[in-house]
Each structure stands twice: as C-alpha cells, then as structure tokens.
Structure 1
C-alpha cells in the first residue's frame, strides 16, 4: 500500500516547515528564517518550478532580509557607542554559554532572561578587556562602565533583530499561503 502523494499533502508539509521559522526567530539557537526557503523547495518538489518559483523567491528574499537585520542591529548598536569589533563575538559566546546552561542560574529568571543576560555579560567582559588595553587604556571603572553600556546596546540590537525576524517569518508564512493557494 502506498501513500498518496497529492499536492495537498505537500502543501501542508511545506506550510508546517515554514511555520518552524516562527519559533526559530524567537529562540536564538534554533534555526529560524532558513525554514522559509526549505518550505519553498518542498513546494517546488510538489508542483514544479513553473508554478512554485514565486514562493521560493519570496522566501529567499525574506531570508536575506533577516540576515541583513541581524548584521544591521548588531553593527549599529556597537558602532553608535564606538565599541570594539569583538563585542558582538563576546555577546555570541555569552549567549551560547547561557543557553547551554554553563552560566550560573539566575535566582529571578529562567532561560529567556539567561538569553538576555548571557549576551550582556559576554559583551561586557570583552569590551571591558579591550578598553582596558592600549590604545584606549581606560581605568577599570571607566572600562566597566563602557563595557556595560555596550553590552546593553548589543542586547537591544539582538531584541530588535529578533522582532524584525519574527515579522519576516510571519510575512513569509502569509506570503506562502497567499501565493500557493491561487
């Protein structure tokens, strides 16, 4: 007995894959917008390139916009405060340590707060280290102040990027539904 591989089944499969982009945009270590073009490729397998190319093109454009949103949010947040180029890397390491549970548990928060505290702590540590060394050679208190402000800016950039990617994911799912049901 074989499974009926009708286009309706493929449409639901593509839609479910694209819906995975929504939680992926909210939780930093899950894949996010990449699910939009994957769903578009599934739809192409079902109905062919001639009919499904608009869905894939829209998904690829939204995925590219999500990458640009990440770069802009972190870059603008760091550049505005004249932060070192390593502050975003420190925030990434802090986020990874927080999500993996390697940072001590906060008594008043959970994983979501850890996902905000980890990047701030990572950017703070890296920025303090960098501004303490020449050519800036700030004192410890001034370096800590600069590091904490840069850490807050990086976290704000991450939040703005997450919100932009969530909007792009919702737009991608809505575009898929609108374009594929014609």
Structure 2
C-alpha cells in the first residue's frame, strides 16, 4: 500500500505549518507569525501560483502587520515616557534571561514569570543606568523610578503585542481555510 501525495494532503501539511503560529505568538522566543507565509508557501508549491496567490498574499500581509504591531507596541510605550533607545534592548536581554530561568530571584513561576519579570528588570536596569548619565543626569532615585516605569511600559507593550499577534494568527488561519476552499 502506497501513499499518494494529493493536493488535499498538501493542504493539511500547509495548515499544520500555519498552526505553529499559535504557540509562537503566545510564547516568547519562539517564531510566531513567520509560520503563516511558510505554510502558504507549502500550499503555493503544491498547487501553483495561479491557485494559491491569494493565500500567500494574505499571509505576507498579516506577517507585516505583526511586525508593525511589535514595533508600535514597544515604540509607543517607550516614546510616551521619553525612554532611551536602549530600554528595548535591555528588555530583550531580560526576556532571554527570564525565559531561560537564569533569574535566581524567581524560585517559582519558571519561564512564564521570567517572561514578564525579565523584560521589566532588564529595561529598568538599562533605563536607570542611562538616565544617570548626561544629558538627562537624573539622580539615582529619580533614575530608578524612571527605569521602573519604563520597564512596566515595555512589559505592557510586549503583552499588547502578543495579544495582537495571536489575533493576527487566528485571522491568518481562518483566511487560509476560507481562501483555499474556493
């Protein structure tokens, strides 16, 4: 008994690849929305450009919207508080350290708590350090307060971005299913 590769079997593979976007949008450090265009590329390779271009175009559009959501969420949260450009980098390093469980102050919660506490701590430390230097030259107490507020804003931006990307992933899956059942 042999298995024949039909367009239906390729459709299921494309859908499974796109389903990987869901955990990727919810869990930090996993690829998220990039799975939408990759799944549509599988479908495109199976049925050809003439039949699969709408699915591919939708996946690329949604992937672009996800990137914009990331940039807006972090940028607006930081810009509103006049944060330094280094606070996002500090949050990224803090996220990596928090998710990998390298924060010794977190005896409970593991990677999930580290994904929230790590970016806050990273952004806070970097912002505190930067704002004590010229041209801001704040005192340590004011710099620490500014850093804590910026850290909270960065974490709020990350959470908003995750929710937006999750909704975009759901829309991408629904759009793929609707468009491919023509």
Under a length normalisation based on structure 1, what TM-score does the superposition of the two structures give?
Answer: 0.97
1:11 and 1:161 map into 2 onto residues whose CA distance is 29
Q: What is residue 36 of structure 1 aligned with on the other side? A: 36
After TM superposition, the structure 1 stretch with the greater mean CA deviation from structure 2, 92-101 or 156-165, is 92-101
1:7 and 1:105 map into 2 onto residues whose CA distance is 52
2:49 and 2:110 map into 1 onto residues whose CA distance is 45
What does 1:17-32 correspond to in 2, within 5 Å?
Answer: 17-32=17-32
What's the CA shift for 1:175? 0.2
Uncovered stretches (5+) of structure 2, i.e. residues with no partner: none
Residues 1:152 and 2:173 are matched in the alignment: no
Q: What is residue 73 of structure 2 aligned with on the other side? A: 73
8 A Cα contact 2:101 2:110, kept in partner: no
Residues 1:123 and 2:123 are matched in the alignment: yes
1:104 and 1:119 map into 2 onto residues whose CA distance is 15
1:90 and 1:40 map into 2 onto residues whose CA distance is 34
What does 1:4-153 correspond to in 2, within 5 Å?
Answer: 4-104=4-104, 106-153=106-153
What's the CA shift for 1:103? 1.6
Q: CA RMSD in A?
A: 1.0
Aligned length: 182
SS of the counterpart of 1:83?
Answer: coil
What's the CA shift for 1:153? 0.1
